[in-house]
Structure formats: structure tokens, C-alpha cells
Amino acid sequence: MRRRLRLVILGIVLALISAIMIYPLLWTVSTSFKTNRELFLDPWGLPSNPTLENYIKALERGNMGIAVVNSLIVSLSSIALISIIAPLAAYATSRVEFRLRTLVSNLLIAGFFIAPHAVLVPLLLLLRDLGLIDTHLGLILSYVGWNLPFAILFMKAFFVSVPQTIQDSAKVDGLSNYSIYTKIMLPLALPTILTVAIITFIGVWNDFLFAFVFLRSPSNFTVPINLLNFTTGRYGNDYVAQSAAVIISAIPTIVLYTVFAEKIRRGVSFMAFGR
Amino acid sequence: MSLPALIFVGLFIFYPLAQMFYLSLFRWNFVSPNMVFVGLENFRRMFLDDPVYLRSLLNVALLAGQSSAIQIPIGVALATIILRYRRVGRLFWAIIFLPYVISSVAVSLVWTWMYNPYFGSVNVFLRTVGLGFLARPWLGDINTALIAIFGTVNWIYIGLTTTMTIATLRSIPPSIFESARIDGLSGFQEFRKITLPLLKELIVVLMIIDISGAFKFFDLIWVMTQGGPSDTTHVTTTWLYRAAFRSSEPGYGAAIGVTVFVFSFVIVQFMIKVVRSKLTR
């Protein structure tokens, strides 16, 4: 009896917490199908005449359509570069003997502990000197630089876990470090590379800071900065269209999360133990 | 083989880091050809003449402190529940982690609407249950803005704390729990005797994450309040942005950056070293 009562109370608590967690998102979905008049008259009511008008407005006049394309270009380019560079560096610093290996390894990882916010000013000056302000290339290169430390840290944990005997027997067969990497290690590492790519994609897709400081023209805006721009500009009071823009911005990462929940949580919890 | 990575990290992390220290010694306005060397003047001004900067440090401390105090106990409790009731737990876990994968700008906008004085759900709820006198513009009220922000922060990060705790608990072999159950330990005893000691290291790690996280805080505050009302909700990074890019004082911004680097990186490294040596003793 007491056990039953405890379970009921526990159930109520969990349901309550779930409600608090999910409610703001459901409210936004509901609002995105309303009119502004409905929003103010009945903020809790469901849309009486659900319409896609807000979504069309957000995509076209709100520039969200262009922003989604920009974000895809920037995110996919960043993860492509990271997926090539990070495993190579992680393999080298965990499995190849060379002078200053520990120093190189530490240098590659140190950035994980540094707040990019601290160097905003010099980073902007660097991009200015390179002529890359307000360009996707400048944004992509910065994302690669600042996301490499985590990617390398995560990949190193994988390479360390590969049995040494595999490497040794390959050496006996006369393979060079480079062919060991491309022929043996890389195929083994593919699932881990996928995890890194997904986590980095979500991070870059959602990043606001760099885009906010480096981009100038709306035609180059990525999703988060365009979202903010939409809420402060001419459509500042058009809350229902903004709600639609918020939902558009969240769809790709929510889809990724639904498909790769386990990988994402594992990669994210690694941040707690990676150090 | 690690050369490409070294070039990226060197150019985009270490070179700007070095230049940050250099720039912090100058007064400049981004465009003028001559930068004025002022020594440590920027730092003097920061600590003696800039109450908003000091307030931002206090806010960062409050942010880190409340994150640890609220998220760690709740996260540990939720993790234990999720692992004990696996079937319901899976769905529950999926729900509470969801806000973390959505962009902070989107989440901040949603919560700005939750706190909206007219149609915001918080006020609508208070009026519905007869507590209408408590309704207020939460983000515009100097007494509640920071608390409202903290509420959103906890809403975003509770799933992350829970997830990290679950990962730690999963690293414990299940046989320990089985033998505890055979010995007749209740759920609470099991938690206190087995789980809690193993969680000690995790709790320290989570606190370190909360501290360094508080220094990396920017998006949420910029979107929700821009540091207002009356500059009471600034964190160090939003104040850095304002100084460097809105007031066009890159030298001063770089100097604030130096303190962000020192406080977050150096203190956290120190904590990791000290804590690690203590735990592996």
C-alpha cells in the first residue's frame, strides 16, 4: 500500500516536471499557428483557424529561408573539415611516437578550457586582416578552430581504446603509420567520427556568438542571429511569426536528437569526463 | 599528421589569445591608426571605476552558485529515478534533455514570451489561480530579472546535469546494486550508501562545469535583457561585448577578456589539479 502510494506521488512529480519542461515548447508550436489578435485575446487557447501563414512569413519576409541555407552551408562545411582534421591529429597524438608529442597534444586540447568570448576582439581583428569579415569562410574557419579541441579529445579517447596488438601486427606487416591510419584505424573510427560530427553540427547550427560578431549583412546571416534580427526589426511585435521562426530554427536539431539521442547524450556527457 | 589541427588551433585560438594580452594594454577605438599605450590603466578602471563590471562578476558567481545548488541535487535525484524505473525513465529522460539541443537564442525568445507582461504564461497562470497581484514584467523588473533568467538557465541545463549523472552511475557495475537489494537496502539507503560516495567526484566536476559555464554565458542574457534593466543582469561576457563593440573600446574589451581567461581557465585548471590529487590520494 505504502509502496503504491509512493509510486503515485513519484508519478505525479515526474509528470509535473515533464509538463514544465515541455510546456514552453508546445506553447510556441501552438502560437505559431495563431494570429496576433488571438495571442493577446486568449494566450492559452489553441489556434481556432490553424494557418501556415506565419511560417511563410518567417521564411520569406523573415529571411529564415536564406538563413537556413546559410546555416547548412556553414555547419556542413565545418563538420566536414573537422571530421578530416580531428581524427588525424587524435591518432597522431595518441598512437604515433614523435618528439614533443605531449606538448602538441596539450596544445591541441587546451582550447577546450578557454572561453572564446575572451578573445572576441583579437579574433575579429584577425578576420579583418584576413579579409574574412562578413563571410561564411571566416565563420567556418573560426568554428573549425574552436571546435577542434573537443573533437580531438573525444577521438583520442577512442584511439587509446583500440588494442595495441592491432597496431603492432600491422607494423610487423610493414605498414607505415599513415597506411595504418587510413587502412585500419579510420574504418574502425567511423562511428566515433559520426558522433563528433553530430555534436559539432548541433553546436555550430546553434551558435550565436561568432555569427553575431563576425557577420554584417542579413543575406549572410545564420539561423540564430537571423532569429534575433527578426525579433528586433520591423516585425518586432509580430510574435506569432517569430514563434514560427523559432520552430523552424529548432526542427533540424530536434530531428537529429530524435534519431541519434544515444550518441548525442554520450558525446555530451563525455565533456564531464574528458578532462 | 597533427599539423593541420595545429595550424587551426594556433591561428584561431593561441594567436588571438596572445594578442588579447597585448591589446589589453592600449586605449584604442578600432579605426584610429595610433593606439595609445596605457599600461595597466584598463585593469585599474575595471576594478576601481567600473561598478557594472564588478556587478557582472557578482552575477557570474551567483549564476554558478545557483546552478550548482539547484541543478546538482535535482539532477542526481532525477538520474537515480530514471535508472530505477527504466521504461518510464527513458521517455522522461528524452523530454528533460530536449531544451539543451535547441539553440539558446530560440530558447531565450520562448522564455521572453513566457515572461511577457501581457500574454506571458507566467502572468496568465498567476491571474488564473488568483495570485494576479504577483504578476509583473519579470524581465523588466529590477528585482526579478536575474531570478527569471536563472529559472530559464535551470530549465535548459537540468537535462545535461541529469545526463552526466546517469553516465557516471552507469559506470558502476550493476552487481553492486543487486547485492545491495539482496541485503535488503531500501531505495534511499541504497542511494546513500552506494550512489552518493561514487557521485562525489562527479559533483566536483559538475561544479567546475558550472563555474566555467558561467564565464561562457552570453546568448541568453543578450537576448533576454541585454544586461538590463539598469545594467543589473550583465555577465562578464555581455559587458565585454558592450565595451568592445558598442562603446568601441577594443582595448578595454580585451582587458575584460584577460580577466575572463584568468578567472575561468586558470581557476578551473587549479581546481582540477587540486581536486584530482585529492580524489586520487
The DSSP H or E segment spanning B188 is: helix B187-190
* Chain A contacts in chain B segment 78-137 (CB below 8 A): 78, 81, 85, 88, 92, 94-106, 109-111, 113-114, 118-121, 124
Cell 603492432 -> residue: A168
pLDDT at B250 over 70: yes
Ramachandran assignment for A63, one of left (phi > 0), alpha (psi -120 to 50 degrees), beta (any other): left
pLDDT at A238: 94
Best of B109, B225, B276 to disrupt the A interface by mutation (most A CBs within 10 Å)?
Answer: B109
Nearest by CB to residue B244, choosing from A39, A121, A243, is A121
Residue in chain B nearest A209 by alpha carbon:
B219
Any chain B CB within 8 A of the CB of A250? yes
Q: ipTM for the complex?
A: 0.93
Nearest by CB to residue A123, choosing from B16, B81, B265, is B16
Rounded distance between C-alpha atoms, residue A200 and residue A143, angstroms: 9
Give, as one character, the DSSP assignment of residue B77: H
Query: How many Cβ atoms from other residues are within 10 Å of residue A94's Cβ?
Result: 18
pLDDT in tens, B9-32: 999 999 999 999 999 999 999 888
Q: Which three cell numbers stand for residue A205?
A: 547550427
pLDDT at A89: 96
Give, as one character, the DSSP assignment of residue B35: P
Domains by residue range for chain B, with CATH: 47-250 (1.10.3720.10)
- What three-state secondary structure class fits B185? coil
Report the amino acid identity of residue B6.
L
Longest dimension (CA), chain B: 77
Any chain A CB within 8 A of the CB of B202? yes
Question: Which residues in B lie closer than 8 A to residue A271 (C-beta atoms)?
Answer: 164, 209
pLDDT at A246: 97
pLDDT at A143: 97
Contact criterion met (CB below 8 Å) for B23 and B244: no
Residue in chain A nearest B248 by alpha carbon:
A121
pLDDT in tens, B41-63: 999 999 999 999 999 999 999 99
Best of A121, A133, A213, A239 to disrupt the B interface by mutation (most B CBs within 10 Å)?
Answer: A121
* Chain A contacts in chain B segment 51-80 (CB below 8 A): 78
Any chain A CB within 8 A of the CB of B19? yes
* Chain B contacts in chain A segment 89-108 (CB below 8 A): 89, 91-93, 96, 104, 107-108
Task: Give chain A's residues under pLDDT 50.
Answer: 274-275
Rounded distance between C-alpha atoms, residue B255 and residue B250, angstroms: 8
Cell 559506470 -> residue: B171
Q: Which three cell numbers stand for residue B227?
A: 544586461
Q: What is the pTM of this model?
A: 0.92
Question: Which listed CATH number (1.10.3720.10, 3.10.129.10, 1.50.10.10, 3.30.70.20) goes with A53-273?
Answer: 1.10.3720.10
pLDDT at A173: 86
Q: pLDDT over 70 for what percent of chain B? A: 97
Burial class (CB in 10 A: 0-12, 13-18, 19+), B137: middle
pLDDT at B281 over 70: no
Any chain B CB within 8 A of the CB of A178? yes
pLDDT at B270 over 90: no
**Residue B278's pLDDT band (cuts 50, 70, 90):** low
Q: Which three cell numbers stand for residue A253?
A: 536539431
Nearest by CB to residue A115, choosing from B96, B254, B264, is B264
pLDDT at A29: 96
Any chain A CB within 8 A of the CB of B148? no
- The whole-angstrom distance between B229's CA and the closest CA on chain A is 17
Any chain B CB within 8 A of the CB of A121? yes
pLDDT at A275: 37
Interchain pair A122, B261: CB under 8 A: no
Upper half-sphere CA count for residue A237 (Cβ side, 13 Å): 4
pLDDT at A6: 86
pLDDT in tens, B62-107: 999 999 999 999 999 999 899 888 888 999 999 999 999 999 999 9
The DSSP H or E segment spanning B26 is: strand B26-27
